[in-house]
Amino acid sequence: MHQARTTCPYCGVGCGVMASVEGDTLTAVAGDSDHPANYGRLCVKGSALHETLGRQGRLTRPRVDGVEVDWDTALDAVATRLARTRQAHGDASVAAYLSGQLLTEDYYVANKLFKGFLGTPHLDTNSRLCMASAVAAYKRSFGADAVPCSYEDLEEAELVVLVGSNLAWNHPVLYQRLRTAKQRNPLMRVVVIDPRVTDSCEIADLYLGVRPGSDARLFNGLLAWMAAKGRLDRVYLDGHTQGLDEALAAAREDDTHIEAIAAACDVDPERLETFYYWFASQLHVVTLYSQGINQSSSGTDKCNAIINCHLAGGKIGLPGAGPFSITGQPNAMGGREVGGLANQLAAHMDYHTPGAIDRMTRFWTTDSLTPRLPPGPGHTAVDLFEAIERGEVRALWVMATNPAVSLPDANRVRAALAKCPLVIVSECVADTDLLPYADIVLPASSWSEKDGTVTNSERRISRQRGLLPPPGEARHDWWIMTQVARRLGYGEAFEYAEPCEIFDEHARLSGFENSLDPSLDNRGEGFRLFNIAGLAGLDRTAYDALTPIQWPVTAQTPGGTARLFGDGHFATADGRARLVAVRPQEPAQALSEARPLRLNTGRVRDQWHTMTRTGRAPRLMNHRAEPFIEVHPDDAVAFNVGDQQLARLTSPNGEYRARVRLSTGQRRGEVFVPMHWTDRFSGQARMGSLLEVHLDPLSGQPESKHGAVSLAAL
């Protein structure tokens, strides 16, 4: 038996894991006491990691048109059909849809292949469903997609505000750290702002059960309240920001009396003012937000309303202070680093970043190959499937995700997939809802088999290590793409023998023509902040031994960077952060007589995504064994349904059938359903089939938290 360090794949906390391996079996896992994300802790999902693996149910052989084939035949088919599609319909007729489950090295190769050499900008990721609004808001305010905080800031804060985040279920180890810090520091306060009473409320000193969608009004009200009470940090605002007047003017377009804001948010005015007072009185405030803020048709504005309040109070760049977006997936941030979003090019450069296409062309050019980078941006996740529906995109390669379940209006997504002339799916599970739509199926390696890096919510890069051989003929995603690239004539640009070579190229790119020398006056460009050139040149031994480290990592900061913007200098052209004028919007999915209930969606504590792995562990299924519809008891009476009774939710897009769970933690007029169940586990409880397509216009993120449905007994 031997032990090895790796990283948990089940959420954006990115906990370090000590894995015990005997032969080709992972026999036990424990928390890695040296990993700064968790210091030895694991949640129930992480501690069951070894139970969620197994060879049973894995994809082990490639398939082309339903027939099992060898790898050469499959890779030839991928290359030939991609080439044929591009020849007949143009480069932009091919696309990729990726996943925050992929490792950074996989993402890097995919981005380079599609945007650099296949010449299409249409490469997006399921991270679009998770944190695209937070990314867009950071860029608007700071000039860069840069999370300013570290986890330790949660422990150093005097006030922690959880908004749209059930931390206890979705980021459990972070919640444990917060709970322990609160026990050690009785003066620390926690405020929970959420439409539902969740387990996170157990440590709350104050709970605000807001009306769904009213978050921007609440934080605009806070900004106006701080101004009215003389609680703005004028020194910080004058020295380091722009836009206060515009942001305040927008906040004052609505009635700023506490009673009016409380009525709009449907909370008690005294409790609301208590929150405002606590926020304004403390310097060391962390506001931690997640999908309850992001998954909205105005998610970017909501994030900016939060950031505005931090800038207005100078509560950023200090220990225990800052607006902190927590990502859902283990590598949502790693994907952002290499250009995994359709608006990005690579290395935190967007398509509109001046000189970016030329810079990438210079970097990716080899002796005999010049990349052909197309103008962008490409289609974001939901738009991509609409482009397939219209026949514009005719070849799609999906890796490590299941859009047939997770996208809104999922039935329409399925119709688009059925219509797409070429669907290639790289997958590790033999039975998913997506595979029936695939023309070519490629068996991929999974967690514990793959070797590479991930970046967690605090910008910390950690190694995921390959501990076991992949089953059957399963191969690593980066290897599969490299083989296809070679068949298409791009081999010289994809001569990777192992992941450390890909990581080295990624690290070199981040430092390519990217000096942080202030005399060059180039700090006013957001992409310059993402620099891990200090990690370039790692050979296999050094890469294997890489310990967790937070970017930027440069010659000036070889040990990484725990906190950003401590000097009050931001990544905008003039170095000042921007307060953004936010005008609160109602959810786009309108309630009506026919659809009177607001639909909220989310995770349950012990499951991950579509349960292809966590659904295998009986002890994880014990927590919630089947899908459910959570309903307030008063609504149950009004809609004539009872506890544990089978019922159905309907919208014009589809139907969801499950048992009712009565809960007084649910607001009246609202219902909650979990996101995990698919046709594999329950033929009639797919939450994606209920949601209409409404996107944030700035981020392209779907409004998954604000459906409109009716409820009836079955």
The residues binding ligand SF4 (CB under 6 A) are 8, 10-11, 13-15, 38, 42-43, 45-46, 171-173
SS3 readout for 604-617: CCCCCCCCCCHHHC
Per DSSP bridges, beta strands 452-455 and 460-464 are: antiparallel
SS3 83: helix
Q: How far is the CB of 397 from ligand SF4 (least distance, A)?
A: 28
Q: How far is CA 489 from CA 84, 362, 497, 609, in A?
A: 14, 19, 17, 36
SS3 598: strand
Toward ligand SF4, which CB reaches closer, 43 or 564? 43
Q: Please give the structure tokens belonging to residue 639.
A: 């809609």
Toward ligand SF4, which CB reaches closer, 171 or 240? 171
Q: How far is the CB of 31 from ligand SF4 (least distance, A)?
A: 7
Q: Which residues sit opposite 98 in a β-bridge?
A: 125
Toward ligand SF4, which CB reaches closer, 607 or 653? 607
H helices of 315-380, in order, are 332-338, 356-364
**Alpha-carbon span 126 to 421, nearest angstrom:** 22
Q: How far is the CB of 451 from ligand SF4 (least distance, A)?
A: 18
Q: How far is the CB of 374 from ligand SF4 (least distance, A)?
A: 36
**Alpha-carbon span 467 to 471, nearest angstrom:** 12
| 210 DSSP assignment | P
Q: How far is CA 101 from CA 12, 288, 324, 603, 697, in A?
A: 10, 22, 21, 16, 25
Q: Identify whether the C-beta of residue 338 lies closer than 8 Å to the C-beta of residue 108.
A: yes
Toward ligand SF4, which CB reaches closer, 43 or 599? 43
Q: Identify whether the C-beta of residue 293 lies closer than 8 Å to the C-beta of residue 705.
A: no
Locus of tokens 């026999």:
27
Toward ligand SF4, which CB reaches closer, 121 or 172? 172
Toward ligand SF4, which CB reaches closer, 39 or 639? 39
Distance from CA of residue 594 to its chain's centroid? Answer: 33
Toward ligand SF4, which CB reaches closer, 35 or 315? 35
SS3 533: helix
Toward ligand SF4, which CB reaches closer, 153 or 635? 153
Toward ligand SF4, which CB reaches closer, 126 or 464? 464
Q: How far is the CB of 298 from ligand SF4 (least distance, A)?
A: 28
Q: How far is the CB of 462 from ligand SF4 (least distance, A)?
A: 10
Q: Please give the structure tokens belonging to residue 66.
A: 């339903």
Q: How far is the CB of 10 from ligand SF4 (least distance, A)?
A: 3
Q: How far is the CB of 15 from ligand SF4 (least distance, A)?
A: 3
Q: Which residues sit opposite 713 in a β-bridge?
A: 647
Q: How far is the CB of 17 from ligand SF4 (least distance, A)?
A: 7
Please list, in sequence order, all residues whose beta carbon lies within 8 angstroms of the beta carbon of residue 497, skipping any fewer than 6 positions away: none
SS3 600: strand
Amino acid (one-letter) located at 442:
L
Going 7 to 11 to 15 to 18, the CA torsion angle's sign is negative
Give me the DSSP letters along 173-209. HHHHHHHHHHHH-TT-EEEEE-SS--GGGGG-SEEE-
Toward ligand SF4, which CB reaches closer, 172 or 334? 172
**Alpha-carbon span 571 to 628, nearest angstrom:** 45
State the greatest distance between any 2 C-alpha atoms of the chain, in Å, as a whole number: 73
Q: How far is the CB of 603 from ligand SF4 (least distance, A)?
A: 10
Toward ligand SF4, which CB reaches closer, 113 or 620? 620
Q: How far is the CB of 281 from ligand SF4 (least distance, A)?
A: 31
Q: How far is the CB of 510 from ligand SF4 (least distance, A)?
A: 25
Nearest to 212 by CA among 711, 705, 713: 705
Q: How far is the CB of 204 from ligand SF4 (least distance, A)?
A: 20
Q: How far is the CB of 171 from ligand SF4 (least distance, A)?
A: 6
Long-range contacts of 28-35 (CB under 8 A, 24+ apart): 32/5, 34/5, 34/547, 35/5, 35/7, 35/462, 35/548
Q: How far is the CB of 692 from ligand SF4 (least distance, A)?
A: 30
Please list, in sequence order, all residues whose beta carbon lies within 8 angstroms of the beta carbon of residue 640, skipping any fewer than 6 positions away: 712, 713
Toward ligand SF4, which CB reaches closer, 294 or 331? 331
Q: How far is the CB of 224 from ligand SF4 (least distance, A)?
A: 36
Q: How far is CA 420 from CA 100, 429, 519, in A?
A: 24, 22, 52
Q: How far is the CB of 96 from ligand SF4 (least distance, A)?
A: 26
Q: Identify whether the C-beta of residue 456 lies closer than 8 Å to the C-beta of residue 333.
A: yes
Toward ligand SF4, which CB reaches closer, 15 or 161? 15
SS3 395: strand
Toward ligand SF4, which CB reaches closer, 53 or 109? 53
Toward ligand SF4, which CB reaches closer, 14 or 702? 14
Name the closest residue to ligand SF4 (Cβ).
46
Give me the DSSP letters along 537-578. T--HHHHHTPPPEESP--SS-TT--S-S-TTS--SSTTS-EE
Toward ligand SF4, which CB reaches closer, 171 or 315? 171
Nearest to 584 by CA among 259, 211, 147: 211
Can you give the C-alpha Rg of the chain in angstroms? 24
Nearest to 463 by CA among 482, 480, 450: 450
Nearest to 573 by CA among 517, 525, 527: 525
Toward ligand SF4, which CB reaches closer, 112 or 609? 609
